[in-house]
C-alpha cells in the first residue's frame, strides 16, 4: 500500500467514474464536508459519486491499493459525524446519492430491493405503490438514505412494533475494502447457513464495507389509523398507558412517543404551523398511534382506552385526530422537536435507552440531577418511550451564555451516561450510533472482550484500515 499523488488518484477516479463522477470544486464539495449538527468540518481529496455497485467496488480497490482512506456518505443526516471526513484533506468522500434505483418490488414475497442511495421516503412510496408498507420512519426520511439507515441501524418512530433497521433486512450487497462485491441480496426468510455476515455491516457506520443495495422486508399496507395526543399525569403513567394500549388493541400500537411541555412550547414558537392540540398546558404528553391493515374500530379502541386511563388518573386530557390533517399536525409537532431545539439555541444531546419499565425512574433521577446542577440548561426529554429510547436533551436556558453552557457538556454527559449504563443497565447510544462523536464513550463503556472482538472484526474486513478510519473504533 502506498500513498498516491493526488493528481494521479483523481485521474484514475475520473477514468473509473466518468465525467460528473468526481467533484473537486469547493462549491460542490463544501456542503458535504460538514455534518448536519455542524460539530465537525472536514476536508477531502475529492467527492466520488459512483452510480453502480461495481463502480463502488472499483473505487475501493483503487483506494486499498493506493492507501487512501474512504468515508461513505448517504443523506448526511447522521448525529455522530460518521459521514464527515477528517481535517487532513487526504480522505475520499464517497457519496452514494447516484446509486438510487429501486431494483425490484415483489408484493407476493413482501420484499423490495433498493440501492443504498435511495432516499427513505422514496422506498416508503415504492412499497405503497405495490400496496405494501415499509415501516422505518424518521423525522429525516425525506433526506436520509437506505445505506445510511442500514449503516446506523436506524430506529425512529415504529421500533416498538417493527424493530430497528436491522430487523427489516433480508439481504445485502456490499463493496468490500479489497474491491470484491459481496452479493447476498437474498429475499429468504430462513437461511441458517453459517455466520450471519450481513448483520456485521448493520450499524457498522461504513467501517467494514460500503453497502450498495439491500433487500428489505415489507408489510401489508396500513388502511386505518387512530392517533391521539394525550396529556398524561407523568412519565410513569405513560408506561402504564402503553401497556394497557398494547393489550386493548391486540398489539396494534405502532408509535408511542413521550413529549414534555417544553417541546410543545419550542415547536409552537419556532415552527410555523405547529399548534398545541390541547386547550390548557400540561407537564407531559404522549403521541400514540394505532394502525391496522384492516378498518378495525381503532378509534373506538383508542377512545375507550383513553377514557379508562382518564378514570384511573393516568390521563388528564386528550385530543383524537379527526382527520388526516389533524394527524399530520400532531406528527409535525413531534418530528420538528429537533429543529425547534436547534432554533432555540445550543443543546446537549443524550440518545439513551433504558428498559421500558425503568424510563420513569430514570427521568426522575436524571431530571433531579439536571435541575440541581445545570441552572443554565432546560431539560427536554422526549422520544421513543415505547421502546425505551429517550432523547435526554438539554437546551441552554434563555439568557444563558452559550459557550459556558456548551463547555459543561462533557461533564454533564459523564454523569448522564454513567447513570444510564451503570445504574440502569442502559445504552449511551440507543439509535444514533458512535461515529466520531462517541468513540471515547464506546471505549469507556463497552466490555473489553467486546472491544477486542470488534477490533478483530475490523482487521479481518479492512486490514489496511481504509474504511472510515477513526469512526466507531480508533
- Contacts of ligand FAD in 168-207 (CB under 6 A): 205-206
> Cα separation of 168 and 125, whole Å?
16
198 touches ligand 2HG (CB under 6 A): no
Which residue is closest to ligand FAD by CB?
148
393 touches ligand 2HG (CB under 6 A): yes
Across-strand partners of 211?
174
Q: In this complex, which beta carbon is closest to ligand FAD, that of residue 240 or of residue 468?
A: 468
85 touches ligand 2HG (CB under 6 A): no
> Cα separation of 29 and 46, whole Å?
8
Q: In this complex, which beta carbon is closest to ligand 2HG, that of residue 59 or of residue 337?
A: 337
Which of 4, 69, 96, 113 binds ligand FAD (CB under 6 A)? It is 96
215 binds, among ligand FAD, ligand 2HG, none (CB under 5 to 8 A by kind): none
Helices (H), 271-319: 298-311
- Contacts of ligand 2HG in 338-357 (CB under 6 A): 338, 349
DSSP 48: E
Which of 21, 50, 85, 156 binds ligand FAD (CB under 6 A)? It is 156
Which of 139, 203, 209, 470 binds ligand 2HG (CB under 6 A)? It is 139
- Would you mind telling me the total number of residues written for the chain in this entry? 474
253 touches ligand FAD (CB under 6 A): no
Which of 75, 85, 383, 469 binds ligand 2HG (CB under 6 A)? It is 383
Burial class of 311 by CB neighbour count within 10 A (0 to 12, 13 to 18, 19+): exposed
Burial class of 173 by CB neighbour count within 10 A (0 to 12, 13 to 18, 19+): buried
Place of cell 433480508: 170
Give CA 463 to chain center in angstroms. 28
Which of 93, 116, 218, 359 binds ligand FAD (CB under 6 A)? It is 116
C-alpha cell at 432: 444514533
> Cα separation of 454 and 451, whole Å?
5
- Judged by CB under 6 A, how many residues of this single chain contact ligand 2HG? 7
> Cα separation of 382 and 154, whole Å?
17
Which of 114, 126, 211, 226 binds ligand FAD (CB under 6 A)? It is 211
391 binds, among ligand FAD, ligand 2HG, none (CB under 5 to 8 A by kind): ligand 2HG
Do 99 and 212 meet the contact criterion of CB atoms below 8 Å apart?
yes
Give the x/- contact pattern for ligand FAD in 30-59, rule: CB under 6 A: ------x-----------------------
Q: In this complex, which beta carbon is closest to ligand 2HG, that of residue 306 or of residue 337?
A: 337
Q: How many angstroms separate the most distant Cα atoms in the chain?
A: 74
Helices (H), 97-205: 120-129, 146-152, 159-162, 197-201
Helices (H), 250-335: 261-270, 298-311, 324-335
- From residue 49, alpha-carbon distances to 14, 78, 250, 332, 350 in Å are 10, 19, 46, 33, 33
Binding site for ligand FAD (CB under 6 A): 36, 71-79, 82-83, 96, 116, 138-140, 144-145, 147-149, 151-152, 154-156, 205-206, 210-211, 338, 431-432, 435, 468, 471
Binding site for ligand 2HG (CB under 6 A): 139, 337-338, 349, 383, 391, 393
Amino acid at each position: 500500500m502506498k500513498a498516491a499523488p493526488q493528481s494521479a488518484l483523481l485521474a484514475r477516479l475520473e477514468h473509473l467514474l466518468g465525467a460528473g463522477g468526481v467533484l473537486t470544486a469547493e462549491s460542490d464539495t463544501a456542503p458535504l464536508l460538514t455534518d448536519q449538527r455542524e460539530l465537525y468540518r472536514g476536508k477531502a481529496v475529492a467527492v466520488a459519486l459512483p452510480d453502480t455497485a461495481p463502480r463502488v467496488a472499483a473505487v475501493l480497490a483503487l483506494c486499498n491499493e493506493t492507501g487512501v482512506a474512504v468515508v461513505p456518505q448517504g443523506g448526511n443526516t447522521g448525529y455522530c459525524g460518521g459521514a464527515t471526513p477528517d481535517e487532513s484533506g487526504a480522505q475520499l468522500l464517497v457519496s452514494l446519492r447516484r446509486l438510487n434505483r429501486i431494483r425490484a418490488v415483489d408484493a407476493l414475497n413482501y420484499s423490495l430491493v433498493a440501492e443504498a442511495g435511495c432516499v427513505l421516503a422514496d422506498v416508503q412510496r415504492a412499497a405503497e405503490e405495490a400496496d405494501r408498507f415499509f415501516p422505518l420512519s424518521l423525522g429525516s426520511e425525506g433526506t436520509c438514505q437506505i445505506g445510511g439507515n442500514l449503516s446506523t441501524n436506524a430506529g425512529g418512530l415504529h421500533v416498538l412494533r417493527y424493530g430497528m433497521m436491522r430487523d427489516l433486512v433480508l439481504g445485502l450487497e456490499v463493496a468490500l475494502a479489497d474491491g470484491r462485491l459481496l452479493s447476498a441480496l437474498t429475499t429468504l426468510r430462513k437461511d441458517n447457513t453459517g455466520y450471519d455476515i450481513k448483520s456485521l455491516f448493520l450499524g457498522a457506520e461504513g467501517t467494514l464495507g460500503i453497502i450498495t443495495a439491500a433487500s428489505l422486508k415489507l408489510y401489508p399496507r396500513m388502511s386505518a389509523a387512530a392517533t391521539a395526543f394525550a396529556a398524561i399525569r407523568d412519565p410513569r403513567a405513560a408506561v402504564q398507558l402503553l401497556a394497557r394500549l398494547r393489550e386493548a388493541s391486540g398489539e396494534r400500537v405502532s408509535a408511542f412517543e413521550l413529549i414534555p411541555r417544553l417541546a410543545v412550547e419550542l415547536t409552537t414558537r419556532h415552527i410555523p404551523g405547529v399548534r398545541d392540540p390541547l386547550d390548557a398546558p400540561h407537564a407531559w404528553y404522549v403521541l400514540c398511534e394505532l394502525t391496522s391493515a384492516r378498518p378495525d374500530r381503532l378509534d373506538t379502541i383508542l377512545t375507550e382506552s383513553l377514557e379508562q386511563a382518564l378514570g384511573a388518573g393516568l390521563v388528564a386530557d386528550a385530543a383524537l385526530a379527526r382527520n388526516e390533517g389533524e394527524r399530520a399536525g400532531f406528527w409535525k409537532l413531534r418530528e420538528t422537536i429537533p429543529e425547534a431545539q436547534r432554533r432555540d439555541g445550543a443543546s446537549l444531546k443524550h440518545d439513551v435507552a433504558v428498559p421500558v419499565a425503568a424510563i420513569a425512574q430514570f427521568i426522575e433521577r436524571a431530571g433531579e440531577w439536571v435541575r440541581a446542577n445545570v441552572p443554565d440548561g432546560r431539560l427536554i426529554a422526549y422520544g421513543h418511550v415505547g421502546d425505551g429510547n429517550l432523547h435526554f436533551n438539554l437546551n441552554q436556558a434563555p439568557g444563558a451564555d452559550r459557550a459556558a453552557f456548551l463547555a459543561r457538556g462533557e461533564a454533564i454527559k459523564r454523569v448522564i451516561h454513567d447513570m444510564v449504563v451503570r445504574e440502569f443497565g442502559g445504552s449511551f447510544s440507543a439509535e444514533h450510533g458512535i461515529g466520531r462523536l462517541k468513540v471515547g464513550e464506546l471505549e469507556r463503556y463497552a466490555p473489553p472482550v467486546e472491544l477486542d472482538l470488534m477490533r478483530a472484526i475490523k482487521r479481518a474486513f479492512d486490514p489496511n484500515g481504509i474504511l472510515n478510519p477513526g469512526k466507531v473504533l480508533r
